[in-house]
Amino acid sequence: MKFGMILIIIVLVAAFIGTLVLLGKPDENYKNSTKQNTVRLTAIYVVVILAAIGGLAWYITMN
């Protein structure tokens, strides 16, 4: 069970870091036009991570 939990966390962190790395590309016009999309994407990540942790905690307490 702990292996699965660790694997989920690693995948979420890797996806988040990958997204941040891609945002660092030097195309200024693209970067300026997508600032709101970046904020939205970050908010989606936060919600999904919190929901995943909450769901995992619920699953663990139910078993």
**Each residue's pLDDT expressed in tens, for the chain with a length of 63 residues:** 788 888 888 989 998 888 888 776 666 666 666 777 888 888 999 999 999 999 999 889 987
Token representation of residue 59: 């699953």
Looking at the structure of the chain, the number of domains it has is 1
Domain that holds residue 41: 30-63
Cβ(12)–Cβ(52) below 8 Å: yes
Residue 45 located in a structural domain: yes
pTM for this model (two decimals): 0.49
Residue 40 in contact with residue 23, Cβ under 8 Å?
no
Residue 55 belongs to a domain: yes
Residue 20 lies in a domain: no
Asked if the structure places residue 16 within a domain, the reply is no
Which residue type occupies 42? T
56 belongs to a structural domain: yes
